[in-house]
A and B are shown apart, each in its own frame.
Chain A
Amino acid sequence: VVPPNADDRAVRWQISFPESLATRSWGTDVVLHDGATRSVHRLDAFSAAVLDVLKAGPADVAALTNDLAARFDLDRADLPEQVERVCRELGRRQLIEPSRP
Protein backbone atom coordinates (compact mmCIF):
# COMPACT_ATOMS: atom_id res chain seq x y z
CA VAL A 1 0.00 0.00 0.00
CA VAL A 2 1.47 3.35 -1.00
CA PRO A 3 1.48 5.74 1.98
CA PRO A 4 -0.52 8.87 1.10
CA ASN A 5 1.19 12.24 1.45
CA ALA A 6 4.29 10.67 2.89
CA ASP A 7 7.75 11.78 2.01
CA ASP A 8 8.28 8.97 -0.45
CA ARG A 9 12.02 9.40 -0.46
CA ALA A 10 12.16 8.45 3.20
CA VAL A 11 10.18 5.27 2.67
CA ARG A 12 12.13 2.05 2.59
CA TRP A 13 10.60 -0.21 0.00
CA GLN A 14 10.56 -3.98 -0.07
CA ILE A 15 9.18 -6.56 -2.44
CA SER A 16 5.76 -7.71 -1.22
CA PHE A 17 6.20 -11.40 -2.07
CA PRO A 18 9.81 -11.92 -3.13
CA GLU A 19 9.53 -15.71 -3.44
CA SER A 20 6.58 -15.55 -5.79
CA LEU A 21 7.99 -13.35 -8.58
CA ALA A 22 8.99 -14.82 -11.91
CA THR A 23 10.11 -12.82 -14.90
CA ARG A 24 10.64 -13.45 -18.57
CA SER A 25 12.48 -10.88 -20.64
CA TRP A 26 13.09 -10.26 -24.31
CA GLY A 27 15.53 -7.42 -24.83
CA THR A 28 14.35 -4.52 -22.65
CA ASP A 29 10.79 -5.83 -22.43
CA VAL A 30 9.96 -7.74 -19.25
CA VAL A 31 6.84 -9.68 -18.29
CA LEU A 32 6.53 -10.38 -14.58
CA HIS A 33 4.27 -12.91 -12.89
CA ASP A 34 3.41 -12.55 -9.23
CA GLY A 35 2.41 -16.00 -8.04
CA ALA A 36 1.05 -14.63 -4.77
CA THR A 37 -1.57 -12.44 -6.41
CA ARG A 38 -1.64 -14.43 -9.71
CA SER A 39 -1.20 -11.15 -11.53
CA VAL A 40 0.90 -10.39 -14.61
CA HIS A 41 2.69 -7.12 -15.32
CA ARG A 42 4.56 -5.75 -18.28
CA LEU A 43 7.57 -3.75 -17.18
CA ASP A 44 10.25 -1.69 -18.84
CA ALA A 45 13.90 -2.43 -18.16
CA PHE A 46 14.23 0.34 -15.56
CA SER A 47 11.29 -0.87 -13.44
CA ALA A 48 12.62 -4.40 -13.66
CA ALA A 49 16.01 -3.13 -12.50
CA VAL A 50 14.42 -1.43 -9.48
CA LEU A 51 12.79 -4.72 -8.55
CA ASP A 52 16.07 -6.49 -9.08
CA VAL A 53 17.84 -4.16 -6.64
CA LEU A 54 15.06 -4.66 -4.09
CA LYS A 55 15.58 -8.42 -4.26
CA ALA A 56 18.69 -7.83 -2.15
CA GLY A 57 16.60 -6.24 0.60
CA PRO A 58 14.61 -3.12 1.54
CA ALA A 59 15.95 0.19 0.25
CA ASP A 60 14.90 3.83 0.12
CA VAL A 61 14.99 6.06 -2.95
CA ALA A 62 18.51 7.30 -2.19
CA ALA A 63 19.91 3.80 -1.85
CA LEU A 64 18.10 2.64 -4.97
CA THR A 65 19.40 5.64 -6.88
CA ASN A 66 22.99 4.94 -5.84
CA ASP A 67 22.74 1.28 -6.72
CA LEU A 68 21.11 1.86 -10.12
CA ALA A 69 23.50 4.69 -11.03
CA ALA A 70 26.45 2.47 -10.25
CA ARG A 71 25.05 -0.56 -12.05
CA PHE A 72 24.05 1.17 -15.26
CA ASP A 73 26.32 4.20 -15.24
CA LEU A 74 23.33 6.58 -15.23
CA ASP A 75 23.25 10.34 -14.86
CA ARG A 76 22.09 11.06 -11.31
CA ALA A 77 20.41 14.39 -12.13
CA ASP A 78 16.83 13.15 -12.62
CA LEU A 79 17.35 9.70 -11.25
CA PRO A 80 15.76 10.13 -7.77
CA GLU A 81 12.51 11.44 -9.34
CA GLN A 82 12.52 8.56 -11.78
CA VAL A 83 13.12 6.00 -9.03
CA GLU A 84 10.44 7.59 -6.88
CA ARG A 85 7.94 7.45 -9.75
CA VAL A 86 8.71 3.81 -10.43
CA CYS A 87 8.42 2.90 -6.74
CA ARG A 88 5.01 4.56 -6.57
CA GLU A 89 3.88 2.63 -9.63
CA LEU A 90 5.24 -0.70 -8.38
CA GLY A 91 3.58 0.04 -5.04
CA ARG A 92 0.28 0.78 -6.78
CA ARG A 93 0.54 -2.61 -8.43
CA GLN A 94 1.25 -4.15 -5.00
CA LEU A 95 4.54 -5.57 -6.17
CA ILE A 96 6.42 -3.60 -3.50
CA GLU A 97 5.37 -2.09 -0.19
CA PRO A 98 6.83 0.12 2.51
CA SER A 99 9.16 -1.85 4.71
CA ARG A 100 7.96 -2.31 8.27
CA PRO A 101 10.46 -1.37 10.96
Chain B
Amino acid sequence: MAGAGVLSGSRMRSRSRTRSTASPLRHLDVSLIVAVMAVASLGVLMVYSATRNRFGGDPSFFMERQLLFVVLGVGVMAAAASIDYRIFRDHAPLLYIGTVAILVLVISPLGSNRKGAQAWFQLGSFQFQPSEWAKVALIICVAAYAASHRGDLDGQRLLALIGMAAVPMVLIQLQPDLGTDLVFAAILLGMLLVAGARPRHMAAMGLLAMLAVAAVFHFGLLQDYQRSRLTAFLDPKEDTQRSAYNLNQSKLAISHGGVTGQGLFEGTQTNLSYVPEQHTDFIFTVVAEELGLVGSGMLLGFFAFIVWRIWRAAALAKDLSGTLICIGVLAMFVFQIFENVGMTMGIMPITGIPLPFVSYGGSSTLAAFAAVGLVLNVHMRRFS
Protein backbone atom coordinates (compact mmCIF):
# COMPACT_ATOMS: atom_id res chain seq x y z
CA MET B 1 0.00 0.00 0.00
CA ALA B 2 2.64 2.41 1.10
CA GLY B 3 4.83 1.09 -1.70
CA ALA B 4 2.19 1.85 -4.31
CA GLY B 5 1.85 5.32 -2.97
CA VAL B 6 5.56 5.94 -3.19
CA LEU B 7 5.54 4.52 -6.70
CA SER B 8 2.92 6.95 -7.91
CA GLY B 9 4.60 9.76 -6.09
CA SER B 10 7.94 9.15 -7.72
CA ARG B 11 6.43 9.18 -11.20
CA MET B 12 4.84 12.52 -10.63
CA ARG B 13 7.98 13.97 -9.21
CA SER B 14 9.86 13.24 -12.41
CA ARG B 15 7.28 15.07 -14.50
CA SER B 16 6.62 18.06 -12.29
CA ARG B 17 10.27 18.87 -11.93
CA THR B 18 10.33 20.19 -15.49
CA ARG B 19 7.16 22.16 -15.02
CA SER B 20 6.97 24.30 -11.98
CA THR B 21 9.05 25.02 -8.98
CA ALA B 22 6.01 25.79 -6.85
CA SER B 23 5.12 22.14 -7.11
CA PRO B 24 1.52 21.36 -6.30
CA LEU B 25 2.85 17.97 -5.26
CA ARG B 26 3.44 19.33 -1.79
CA HIS B 27 -0.34 19.50 -1.44
CA LEU B 28 -0.95 15.98 -2.65
CA ASP B 29 -3.61 14.21 -0.59
CA VAL B 30 -1.57 11.16 0.38
CA SER B 31 -4.25 9.86 2.74
CA LEU B 32 -6.71 9.56 -0.15
CA ILE B 33 -4.15 7.62 -2.15
CA VAL B 34 -3.46 5.33 0.80
CA ALA B 35 -7.16 4.67 1.32
CA VAL B 36 -7.73 3.96 -2.38
CA MET B 37 -4.76 1.60 -2.50
CA ALA B 38 -5.99 -0.19 0.60
CA VAL B 39 -9.38 -0.77 -0.97
CA ALA B 40 -7.87 -1.77 -4.31
CA SER B 41 -5.55 -4.29 -2.63
CA LEU B 42 -8.44 -5.82 -0.75
CA GLY B 43 -10.26 -5.96 -4.09
CA VAL B 44 -7.47 -8.00 -5.70
CA LEU B 45 -7.52 -10.41 -2.77
CA MET B 46 -11.30 -10.75 -2.94
CA VAL B 47 -11.26 -11.32 -6.69
CA TYR B 48 -8.81 -14.14 -6.01
CA SER B 49 -11.05 -15.63 -3.34
CA ALA B 50 -14.07 -15.44 -5.61
CA THR B 51 -12.41 -16.99 -8.65
CA ARG B 52 -9.63 -19.28 -7.46
CA ASN B 53 -11.69 -22.46 -7.55
CA ARG B 54 -14.10 -21.68 -10.29
CA PHE B 55 -13.89 -21.50 -14.10
CA GLY B 56 -11.24 -24.21 -14.27
CA GLY B 57 -7.73 -23.44 -15.38
CA ASP B 58 -5.35 -21.11 -13.62
CA PRO B 59 -6.81 -20.20 -10.21
CA SER B 60 -4.96 -16.86 -10.13
CA PHE B 61 -5.97 -15.80 -13.65
CA PHE B 62 -8.53 -13.20 -12.57
CA MET B 63 -6.46 -12.09 -9.61
CA GLU B 64 -3.42 -11.43 -11.81
CA ARG B 65 -5.47 -9.49 -14.31
CA GLN B 66 -7.09 -7.40 -11.60
CA LEU B 67 -3.63 -6.74 -10.16
CA LEU B 68 -2.55 -5.56 -13.58
CA PHE B 69 -5.61 -3.27 -13.77
CA VAL B 70 -4.70 -1.77 -10.41
CA VAL B 71 -1.11 -1.14 -11.46
CA LEU B 72 -2.33 0.41 -14.73
CA GLY B 73 -4.92 2.30 -12.69
CA VAL B 74 -2.23 3.87 -10.54
CA GLY B 75 -0.58 5.08 -13.72
CA VAL B 76 -3.85 6.48 -15.04
CA MET B 77 -4.44 8.14 -11.68
CA ALA B 78 -1.01 9.72 -11.83
CA ALA B 79 -1.62 10.91 -15.37
CA ALA B 80 -5.02 12.33 -14.50
CA ALA B 81 -3.54 14.14 -11.53
CA SER B 82 -0.51 15.51 -13.27
CA ILE B 83 -2.15 17.39 -16.14
CA ASP B 84 -3.81 20.51 -14.75
CA TYR B 85 -7.54 19.91 -14.60
CA ARG B 86 -8.13 23.26 -16.18
CA ILE B 87 -6.58 21.93 -19.37
CA PHE B 88 -9.15 19.14 -19.36
CA ARG B 89 -11.83 21.71 -18.65
CA ASP B 90 -10.81 23.90 -21.51
CA HIS B 91 -10.91 21.00 -23.95
CA ALA B 92 -14.25 19.78 -22.71
CA PRO B 93 -16.05 20.19 -26.09
CA LEU B 94 -13.46 17.98 -27.76
CA LEU B 95 -13.71 15.46 -24.93
CA TYR B 96 -17.48 15.45 -25.26
CA ILE B 97 -17.47 14.87 -29.00
CA GLY B 98 -14.89 12.10 -28.64
CA THR B 99 -16.94 10.42 -25.95
CA VAL B 100 -20.14 10.50 -27.97
CA ALA B 101 -18.29 9.22 -31.00
CA ILE B 102 -16.85 6.26 -29.14
CA LEU B 103 -20.24 5.43 -27.63
CA VAL B 104 -21.70 5.39 -31.15
CA LEU B 105 -18.87 3.17 -32.32
CA VAL B 106 -19.44 0.60 -29.59
CA ILE B 107 -23.03 -0.03 -30.62
CA SER B 108 -21.90 -0.28 -34.22
CA PRO B 109 -20.64 -3.65 -35.51
CA LEU B 110 -17.19 -2.65 -34.30
CA GLY B 111 -18.23 -3.21 -30.71
CA SER B 112 -18.79 -6.64 -29.24
CA ASN B 113 -21.71 -8.15 -27.50
CA ARG B 114 -21.38 -10.02 -24.23
CA LYS B 115 -24.17 -11.23 -21.97
CA GLY B 116 -26.69 -9.44 -24.16
CA ALA B 117 -25.13 -5.98 -24.03
CA GLN B 118 -23.29 -4.30 -26.87
CA ALA B 119 -20.90 -2.48 -24.55
CA TRP B 120 -17.35 -3.53 -25.30
CA PHE B 121 -14.49 -3.22 -27.69
CA GLN B 122 -12.50 -6.41 -27.82
CA LEU B 123 -8.79 -5.61 -27.68
CA GLY B 124 -6.86 -8.86 -27.70
CA SER B 125 -7.79 -10.65 -24.51
CA PHE B 126 -9.02 -7.42 -22.92
CA GLN B 127 -12.30 -5.65 -23.22
CA PHE B 128 -12.58 -1.92 -23.24
CA GLN B 129 -15.88 -0.60 -21.94
CA PRO B 130 -16.29 3.02 -23.09
CA SER B 131 -19.30 3.76 -20.88
CA GLU B 132 -17.04 3.62 -17.81
CA TRP B 133 -14.83 6.30 -19.35
CA ALA B 134 -17.86 8.28 -20.46
CA LYS B 135 -18.76 8.81 -16.79
CA VAL B 136 -15.45 10.58 -16.12
CA ALA B 137 -15.72 12.53 -19.35
CA LEU B 138 -19.25 13.67 -18.50
CA ILE B 139 -18.06 14.91 -15.10
CA ILE B 140 -15.46 17.13 -16.77
CA CYS B 141 -17.87 18.40 -19.42
CA VAL B 142 -20.69 19.24 -17.01
CA ALA B 143 -18.22 20.91 -14.66
CA ALA B 144 -16.81 22.94 -17.53
CA TYR B 145 -20.19 24.11 -18.79
CA ALA B 146 -21.67 24.86 -15.37
CA ALA B 147 -18.55 26.67 -14.22
CA SER B 148 -18.42 28.75 -17.40
CA HIS B 149 -21.75 30.22 -16.37
CA ARG B 150 -20.49 30.76 -12.91
CA GLY B 151 -23.03 28.51 -11.42
CA ASP B 152 -25.91 30.64 -12.67
CA LEU B 153 -28.13 27.90 -13.95
CA ASP B 154 -31.35 29.25 -15.33
CA GLY B 155 -33.84 27.00 -17.01
CA GLN B 156 -32.20 27.17 -20.40
CA ARG B 157 -28.74 26.28 -19.14
CA LEU B 158 -30.19 23.57 -17.01
CA LEU B 159 -31.84 22.06 -20.05
CA ALA B 160 -28.56 22.35 -21.96
CA LEU B 161 -26.82 20.38 -19.20
CA ILE B 162 -29.54 17.76 -19.15
CA GLY B 163 -29.30 17.49 -22.91
CA MET B 164 -25.55 17.16 -22.64
CA ALA B 165 -25.96 14.20 -20.32
CA ALA B 166 -28.88 12.75 -22.23
CA VAL B 167 -26.98 12.05 -25.45
CA PRO B 168 -24.49 9.56 -23.93
CA MET B 169 -27.23 8.17 -21.70
CA VAL B 170 -29.41 7.35 -24.69
CA LEU B 171 -26.45 5.76 -26.45
CA ILE B 172 -25.69 3.68 -23.36
CA GLN B 173 -29.32 2.65 -23.01
CA LEU B 174 -29.03 1.32 -26.58
CA GLN B 175 -26.36 -1.18 -25.45
CA PRO B 176 -28.38 -1.60 -23.10
CA ASP B 177 -26.83 -0.75 -19.76
CA LEU B 178 -29.38 0.62 -17.35
CA GLY B 179 -27.00 0.59 -14.39
CA THR B 180 -24.47 2.94 -15.95
CA ASP B 181 -27.27 5.29 -16.98
CA LEU B 182 -28.37 5.45 -13.37
CA VAL B 183 -24.82 6.41 -12.41
CA PHE B 184 -24.98 9.18 -15.03
CA ALA B 185 -28.21 10.42 -13.53
CA ALA B 186 -26.70 10.41 -10.03
CA ILE B 187 -23.63 12.30 -11.23
CA LEU B 188 -25.79 14.89 -12.98
CA LEU B 189 -28.09 15.36 -9.99
CA GLY B 190 -25.21 15.75 -7.55
CA MET B 191 -23.40 18.25 -9.75
CA LEU B 192 -26.53 20.26 -10.48
CA LEU B 193 -27.27 20.47 -6.79
CA VAL B 194 -23.89 21.96 -6.02
CA ALA B 195 -23.61 23.91 -9.28
CA GLY B 196 -26.53 26.02 -8.21
CA ALA B 197 -29.60 24.68 -9.92
CA ARG B 198 -32.71 26.38 -8.63
CA PRO B 199 -34.44 24.47 -5.84
CA ARG B 200 -37.68 24.43 -7.85
CA HIS B 201 -35.82 22.97 -10.79
CA MET B 202 -34.33 20.31 -8.58
CA ALA B 203 -37.79 19.52 -7.22
CA ALA B 204 -39.21 19.38 -10.74
CA MET B 205 -36.42 17.04 -11.86
CA GLY B 206 -37.05 14.82 -8.87
CA LEU B 207 -40.72 14.63 -9.80
CA LEU B 208 -39.90 13.97 -13.45
CA ALA B 209 -37.49 11.22 -12.48
CA MET B 210 -40.20 9.51 -10.47
CA LEU B 211 -42.65 9.85 -13.35
CA ALA B 212 -40.04 8.47 -15.72
CA VAL B 213 -39.48 5.43 -13.51
CA ALA B 214 -43.21 4.83 -13.35
CA ALA B 215 -43.53 5.26 -17.12
CA VAL B 216 -40.66 2.91 -17.84
CA PHE B 217 -42.34 0.21 -15.78
CA HIS B 218 -45.81 0.97 -16.99
CA PHE B 219 -45.07 1.03 -20.71
CA GLY B 220 -42.93 -2.06 -20.61
CA LEU B 221 -39.77 -0.38 -21.79
CA LEU B 222 -37.80 -2.86 -19.74
CA GLN B 223 -36.97 -6.40 -20.69
CA ASP B 224 -38.56 -8.97 -18.39
CA TYR B 225 -35.23 -9.88 -16.85
CA GLN B 226 -34.55 -6.23 -16.14
CA ARG B 227 -37.89 -5.82 -14.46
CA SER B 228 -37.46 -8.91 -12.33
CA ARG B 229 -33.96 -7.88 -11.32
CA LEU B 230 -35.11 -4.42 -10.38
CA THR B 231 -38.03 -5.62 -8.35
CA ALA B 232 -36.62 -8.78 -6.80
CA PHE B 233 -35.41 -6.87 -3.76
CA LEU B 234 -38.96 -5.80 -2.98
CA ASP B 235 -40.14 -9.36 -2.40
CA PRO B 236 -37.25 -11.81 -2.31
CA LYS B 237 -39.34 -14.49 -0.57
CA GLU B 238 -41.07 -15.12 -3.85
CA ASP B 239 -38.05 -17.00 -5.07
CA THR B 240 -39.50 -18.68 -8.11
CA GLN B 241 -37.45 -16.29 -10.16
CA ARG B 242 -33.78 -16.65 -10.70
CA SER B 243 -33.16 -13.04 -9.62
CA ALA B 244 -34.86 -13.51 -6.29
CA TYR B 245 -32.94 -16.74 -5.80
CA ASN B 246 -29.67 -14.96 -6.50
CA LEU B 247 -30.59 -12.16 -4.15
CA ASN B 248 -31.44 -14.58 -1.35
CA GLN B 249 -28.16 -16.40 -1.84
CA SER B 250 -26.36 -13.08 -1.76
CA LYS B 251 -28.00 -12.01 1.48
CA LEU B 252 -27.39 -15.45 2.92
CA ALA B 253 -23.68 -15.20 2.12
CA ILE B 254 -23.40 -11.80 3.79
CA SER B 255 -25.37 -12.93 6.80
CA HIS B 256 -23.36 -16.13 7.06
CA GLY B 257 -20.24 -14.04 7.63
CA GLY B 258 -21.40 -12.95 11.06
CA VAL B 259 -19.20 -10.64 13.06
CA THR B 260 -15.79 -12.11 12.36
CA GLY B 261 -16.45 -13.88 9.07
CA GLN B 262 -15.81 -17.44 7.95
CA GLY B 263 -12.17 -16.64 7.33
CA LEU B 264 -10.33 -15.74 4.14
CA PHE B 265 -11.04 -18.36 1.41
CA GLU B 266 -13.36 -20.16 3.86
CA GLY B 267 -16.69 -18.74 2.70
CA THR B 268 -18.80 -21.76 1.83
CA GLN B 269 -21.39 -19.78 -0.09
CA THR B 270 -18.51 -18.26 -2.00
CA ASN B 271 -16.65 -21.50 -2.61
CA LEU B 272 -19.78 -23.30 -3.84
CA SER B 273 -20.65 -20.48 -6.23
CA TYR B 274 -24.08 -19.90 -4.77
CA VAL B 275 -23.80 -16.20 -5.51
CA PRO B 276 -23.76 -15.10 -9.15
CA GLU B 277 -21.27 -12.64 -10.68
CA GLN B 278 -19.36 -12.87 -7.47
CA HIS B 279 -16.07 -11.47 -8.71
CA THR B 280 -17.80 -8.50 -10.31
CA ASP B 281 -21.16 -7.12 -9.20
CA PHE B 282 -21.55 -9.28 -6.08
CA ILE B 283 -17.99 -9.11 -4.78
CA PHE B 284 -19.16 -7.48 -1.58
CA THR B 285 -20.65 -10.83 -0.54
CA VAL B 286 -17.16 -12.36 -0.55
CA VAL B 287 -15.86 -9.65 1.74
CA ALA B 288 -18.86 -9.96 4.02
CA GLU B 289 -18.90 -13.76 4.20
CA GLU B 290 -15.19 -14.30 4.63
CA LEU B 291 -14.24 -11.25 6.68
CA GLY B 292 -17.50 -10.65 8.52
CA LEU B 293 -18.85 -7.43 9.94
CA VAL B 294 -15.31 -6.46 10.93
CA GLY B 295 -13.97 -6.70 7.38
CA SER B 296 -16.96 -5.41 5.48
CA GLY B 297 -17.47 -2.63 8.01
CA MET B 298 -13.86 -1.66 7.57
CA LEU B 299 -14.25 -1.64 3.79
CA LEU B 300 -17.26 0.67 4.09
CA GLY B 301 -15.18 2.76 6.48
CA PHE B 302 -12.43 3.14 3.88
CA PHE B 303 -15.03 4.12 1.34
CA ALA B 304 -16.48 6.67 3.76
CA PHE B 305 -13.02 8.05 4.28
CA ILE B 306 -12.41 8.32 0.53
CA VAL B 307 -15.78 10.04 0.10
CA TRP B 308 -14.95 12.44 2.89
CA ARG B 309 -11.60 13.30 1.32
CA ILE B 310 -13.31 13.97 -2.02
CA TRP B 311 -16.00 16.06 -0.34
CA ARG B 312 -13.24 18.02 1.37
CA ALA B 313 -11.36 18.49 -1.93
CA ALA B 314 -14.60 19.84 -3.43
CA ALA B 315 -14.99 22.31 -0.61
CA LEU B 316 -11.38 23.46 -0.82
CA ALA B 317 -11.18 23.70 -4.61
CA LYS B 318 -9.80 26.88 -6.09
CA ASP B 319 -12.67 27.36 -8.54
CA LEU B 320 -16.15 26.13 -9.32
CA SER B 321 -15.00 23.80 -12.07
CA GLY B 322 -12.68 22.07 -9.58
CA THR B 323 -15.45 21.84 -7.02
CA LEU B 324 -17.83 20.39 -9.56
CA ILE B 325 -15.32 17.85 -10.83
CA CYS B 326 -14.90 16.61 -7.25
CA ILE B 327 -18.65 16.62 -6.69
CA GLY B 328 -19.17 14.59 -9.88
CA VAL B 329 -16.64 12.01 -8.74
CA LEU B 330 -18.20 12.05 -5.28
CA ALA B 331 -21.69 11.47 -6.64
CA MET B 332 -20.42 8.70 -8.88
CA PHE B 333 -18.66 6.83 -6.07
CA VAL B 334 -21.39 7.32 -3.49
CA PHE B 335 -24.07 6.14 -5.86
CA GLN B 336 -22.05 3.14 -7.01
CA ILE B 337 -21.12 2.12 -3.47
CA PHE B 338 -24.63 2.57 -2.13
CA GLU B 339 -26.30 0.88 -5.07
CA ASN B 340 -23.81 -1.98 -5.31
CA VAL B 341 -23.55 -2.80 -1.61
CA GLY B 342 -27.25 -2.08 -1.08
CA MET B 343 -28.18 -4.46 -3.89
CA THR B 344 -26.20 -7.34 -2.37
CA MET B 345 -27.99 -6.74 0.93
CA GLY B 346 -31.43 -6.49 -0.64
CA ILE B 347 -32.17 -2.82 0.02
CA MET B 348 -31.56 -1.65 -3.56
CA PRO B 349 -32.65 -3.08 -6.90
CA ILE B 350 -30.25 -5.36 -8.73
CA THR B 351 -28.34 -3.51 -11.46
CA GLY B 352 -24.98 -4.29 -12.97
CA ILE B 353 -22.96 -1.58 -11.26
CA PRO B 354 -19.43 -2.42 -10.09
CA LEU B 355 -18.09 -1.63 -6.65
CA PRO B 356 -15.26 0.87 -7.29
CA PHE B 357 -11.73 -0.57 -6.86
CA VAL B 358 -13.09 -3.92 -5.64
CA SER B 359 -15.12 -5.46 -8.45
CA TYR B 360 -13.14 -7.26 -11.11
CA GLY B 361 -13.01 -5.26 -14.33
CA GLY B 362 -10.43 -3.28 -16.27
CA SER B 363 -12.46 -0.34 -17.53
CA SER B 364 -14.27 0.28 -14.27
CA THR B 365 -11.08 0.04 -12.21
CA LEU B 366 -9.14 2.31 -14.53
CA ALA B 367 -12.00 4.81 -14.70
CA ALA B 368 -12.23 4.87 -10.90
CA PHE B 369 -8.50 5.53 -10.60
CA ALA B 370 -8.77 8.25 -13.23
CA ALA B 371 -11.61 9.84 -11.24
CA VAL B 372 -9.50 9.83 -8.07
CA GLY B 373 -6.67 11.26 -10.12
CA LEU B 374 -8.89 14.20 -11.06
CA VAL B 375 -9.75 14.78 -7.41
CA LEU B 376 -6.05 14.69 -6.47
CA ASN B 377 -5.50 17.08 -9.34
CA VAL B 378 -8.06 19.59 -8.06
CA HIS B 379 -6.93 19.17 -4.50
CA MET B 380 -3.23 19.74 -5.06
CA ARG B 381 -3.82 22.74 -7.30
CA ARG B 382 -6.09 24.48 -4.84
CA PHE B 383 -3.50 27.24 -4.42
CA SER B 384 -2.24 27.55 -7.98
The answer to whether A and B come from one shared complex is no
Q: What residues of chain B have their CB less than 8 Å away from a CB belonging to chain A? A: none
